[in-house]
Amino acid sequence: MKKYIILFFVCFPLSVFSQEEAWVYFKTKVNEQYYYENPLQMLSQRALERRSNQNIALDFKDIPINQDFINIIKAVSGIRVMAKSKWMNAIHVRGSQSVINSLKIYVFVDRVDFADKTLNTTNKLVSVSKVALSEENDQKKEKMTVAISGFASQIEMLNGQYLHQQNYKGAGKIIAVLDAGFVGVDQSVAFKRLRDNHQILGGYNFVSGNNSLYTLDSHGTNVLSTMAAYGDNALVGTAIDASYYLFITEDVSSENPVEESLWVEAAEKADSLGVDIINSSLGYTDFDNPAYNHQYSDRNGNAAFISKGAEIAFSRGMLVVVSAGNEGTTSNPFIGAPADALSVITVGAVNLNEQKATFSSVGPTADGRIKPEVMALGQNVIVSDTQGNSVYSNGTSFSAPIISGMLACLWQAYPDASNQEIRDLLLQSSSRYNVPDNNYGYGIPDFNLALNNGTILKKNDFQYFAAFPNPTSDSVSILFPPNFNSGMIWFYSAYGQKVLEKKVISPKDSFSLEALSNGVYFYKIKSDLFSKEGKVIKN
C-alpha cells in the first residue's frame, strides 16, 4: 500500500480501465505422488525440518502448479499472466473481460474470479467518478542526532532488552521482508554488520521479475532497519542476529490487485526457503480502479486473495506479522488485507506515552474479531534512511517489524515451539490480554514476561508427556500426566492420511504399529485436559 503522507483525489472515468484483473483457478495438479515422495523437489531441507518440528504434513497446496496449464493460458491472445500461486492452484491474469471469460472453456480450468466482483455475477459495470488514495504518513522523516536512549525506547517499551541481555537477538531465525524496495541496504553503514556477517540470504524482485533488490523504493530499507540496523550511537534493531530474505512485491507506481498475488507468490517462496517469520508493512483496501476496492464487508479474513494466502502461510508453520494500516483518522478507519486474516499478527501503533497513535487503523474485522492483535511504537519511530542517517518516521509500517524482530528473539529462546505457541505467548504477555478491544487489541507485549512464561513449554514437554520407544519397531507406549482421564490418539502418514485411531483410557497405554509400513508418522492426542502433537519413526 503506497500510503505515504499526502491525501489526494484522482478522477478516473471507468472506461480508462479496458483491462481487467482476474484469478484463474485450476482443477488439478500433476505428479502429486512423486512430489510427496521427493519433497526436496518443492521445499528446502530447512523448510521440511520446520514442518517436521511442528508436525505439519505435506499436502496438496505444497505441490507445484502445473506449468503446462500456465503455458496454454499464456498462449491465448490478449492474456498476460502476471503471477502464479501453487497454494491457490491459480494464476493472476490481465486481459479484457471477454477474453478472460473465454478461458473457462479449458477443461482444466475450475473457475475464474474477477477482481471486480460485479463481473462474477453480472455484465454491468459500476460507475465511479473519483477515488481517494489515502497515503501513509510513515515517510515523514527528519534527520537528527539522537542519544542511544532514544533508540532503546523502541525496544524497552516491549521489555525486549531482557532478551537481548541473555543474547537472544534472533540468531538461527530467518525473517522474510515483503516490501516495496530496499534502496541503500547494499551500501549504507547501518547495514554493514548485516552484510559483513552474510545475514542477507537473498531475495527476489517480483515486481520487475529479476534479482534487483536495492532499487525502486526505500520503504523496505526503513522497515528492515528497525530489525537489522546496527551502529555505534545509532539505530539498533530488534533482531540484529537474525538472517533475512528481501522480497519486493509492492509496485509504488500503481495500486493494483496483482500486488496481492505477488505477495502470495513471495510468501510461497519464503515457505520453500524455510523462513520462520514473514514481515509485511503492506496492506490493501483501495486500488487505482475503484471497482477492485475491498469493501469493509470483504475484510473477514477469507475474501481477499492476500488474506487467504497469509492464512495458508501460517498453516505452513510460519509467523506472519503485518501492519494494521494508517487509516485511523479517515472515514474508513478499519484494518485492510491481509491484516484481517485470522492467524496473522496485526500490529497497531502507539506513541512514546503508550497511547494509540491517532492514525493507527482499528478493528473489528467484518466478522467481528478483535484486531489489531498487539501494539508497538509507531509514532516518532527511529529508522535508518538510505544514507544510514537516523531519522524520525511515523506509521504502523514500523511497529510491525519491531514486533517481528522481537518474535525472532523469543523463538530463538524456544526453538522447539510451534508458531501457534509463540503467537500465544505474545498475546498472553500483552498488557490488555484480559480486556482486549479494537483500538489496542491485546495491548503492548512484555517480552520479558513472554520469555518467563515460555518455560511452561519446556516443562510440559519434559514432565507431562512421553511417547516411547522412538524410533520403534512394533508398538509405541504413551505416558500421560497423573490427572489424565481419557482421550483419543490419531496417527497420520507423512502425506497427512489418517492410518490409525485409538481411544486412550489410562495414563500409560500402548498401541501396536505392526500393521503400518516403516516410515515417519505424525500423531495427535486430545484429552479433556490438553492436546499434543508429535512424530514417531517406525523402523
Cβ pair 92, 82 in contact under 8 A: yes
Pairing relationship of beta strands 487-492 and 7-11 according to DSSP bridges:
unpaired
Confidence label for 124 from pLDDT (cuts 50, 70 and 90): very low
Which has more pLDDT, 524 or 402? 402
CA pair distance 378, 89, nearest whole angstrom: 37
Which of 116, 138, 179, 276 is an active site residue? 179
Candidates 146, 125, 353, 345; CA nearest to 235 is: 146
Is 464-538 in the same CATH topology as 138-457?
no
Q: What percent of the chain has pLDDT over 70?
A: 84
CA pair distance 95, 18, nearest whole angstrom: 8
Which of 219, 307, 430, 446 is an active site residue? 219
- pLDDT at residue 170 above 60? yes
- pLDDT at residue 140 above 70? no
Mean pLDDT, range 463-487, rounded to an integer: 64
Confidence label for 24 from pLDDT (cuts 50, 70 and 90): very high
Mean pLDDT, range 407-411, rounded to an integer: 97
| Cis upstream peptide for 257 (omega within 30°) | no
- pLDDT at residue 321 above 60? yes
Report CA-CA distances (Å) from 449 to 236, 243, 430. 22, 25, 9
What's the pLDDT score for residue 7? 30
Q: Considering the domain 138-457 in this protein, what is its CATH number?
A: 3.40.50.200
Helix (H/G/I), strand (E/B), else coil: 196: helix
68 tagged catalytic:
no
Confidence label for 505 from pLDDT (cuts 50, 70 and 90): confident
What residue has cell string 509504488?
A: 252
CA pair distance 376, 431, nearest whole angstrom: 11
219 tagged catalytic:
yes
CA pair distance 383, 235, nearest whole angstrom: 7
Which of 281, 397, 430, 493 is an active site residue? 397
What φ, ψ does residue 416 adopt, rounded to 5°? -90, -5
Please tell me the number of Cα atoms within 13 Å of 80 on its side-chain side.
8
What's the pLDDT score for residue 501? 85
Annotate 403-453 with DSSP letters as a single string.
Answer: HHHHHHHHHHHSTTS-HHHHHHHHHHTBTTTTS-BTTTBT--B-HHHHHHH
Please tell me the number of Cα atoms within 13 Å of 314 on its side-chain side.
22
What's the pLDDT score for residue 482? 56
- pLDDT at residue 537 above 70? yes
Cβ pair 228, 199 in contact under 8 A: yes
What's the pLDDT score for residue 163? 96
What's the pLDDT score for residue 160? 96
pTM value?
A: 0.81
Pairing relationship of beta strands 498-504 and 487-492 according to DSSP bridges:
antiparallel
Confidence label for 129 from pLDDT (cuts 50, 70 and 90): very low
When the pLDDT of each residue in the chain is averaged and rounded to a whole number, the result is 87
- Give the fold, CATH level 3, of 464-538: Immunoglobulin-like (2.60.40)
What's the pLDDT score for residue 503? 80
Radius of gyration of the chain (CA): 24
Confidence label for 199 from pLDDT (cuts 50, 70 and 90): very high
Q: Residues near 210 by Cβ (< 8 Å), separated by ≥ 6?
A: none
Mean pLDDT, range 111-126, rounded to an integer: 75
Pairing relationship of beta strands 319-323 and 345-350 according to DSSP bridges:
parallel
Mean pLDDT, range 243-258, rounded to an integer: 97
What's the pLDDT score for residue 463? 39
Give the chain's largest Cα–Cα span. Answer: 72
**Of the given ranges (48-52, 104-108, 281-285, 522-526), which has the lowest mean pLDDT?**
522-526
Domain boundaries, given as residue ranges, for the chain: 7-120, 138-457, 464-538
Annotate 220-286 with DSSP letters as a single string.
Answer: HHHHHHHHH---TTS---S-TTSEEEEEE---TT---THHHHHHHHHHHHHHHHT-SEEEE---BS-
- pLDDT at residue 484 above 50? yes
- pLDDT at residue 526 above 80? no
- pLDDT at residue 311 above 80? yes
Dihedral, CA of residue 327, residue 333, residue 338 and residue 343, to nearest 10: 120
Pull the grid cell for residue 329. 483518522
Which has more pLDDT, 484 or 193? 193
What's the pLDDT score for residue 134? 31
Mean pLDDT, range 77-105, rounded to an integer: 98
Give the type of residue at 221.
Answer: T
CA pair distance 448, 138, nearest whole angstrom: 28
Crossing angle of helices 396-413 and 148-156, in 10° steps, is 70
Candidates 83, 241, 104, 223; CA nearest to 168 is: 241
Q: Considering the domain 7-120 in this protein, what is its CATH number?
A: 3.30.70.80
- pLDDT at residue 371 above 50? yes
- pLDDT at residue 15 above 70? no
pLDDT tens per residue, range 59-69: 999 999 999 99
Mean pLDDT, range 338-361, rounded to an integer: 97
Dihedral, CA of residue 402, residue 451, residue 413 and residue 457, to nearest 10: -130
**Of the given ranges (76-90, 422-436, 445-459), which has the lowest mean pLDDT?**
445-459
What's the pLDDT score for residue 413? 93
Cβ pair 324, 349 in contact under 8 A: yes
Cβ pair 321, 352 in contact under 8 A: no
Report CA-CA distances (Å) from 412 to 84, 226, 276, 428, 431. 33, 18, 11, 18, 23
Confidence label for 47 from pLDDT (cuts 50, 70 and 90): very high
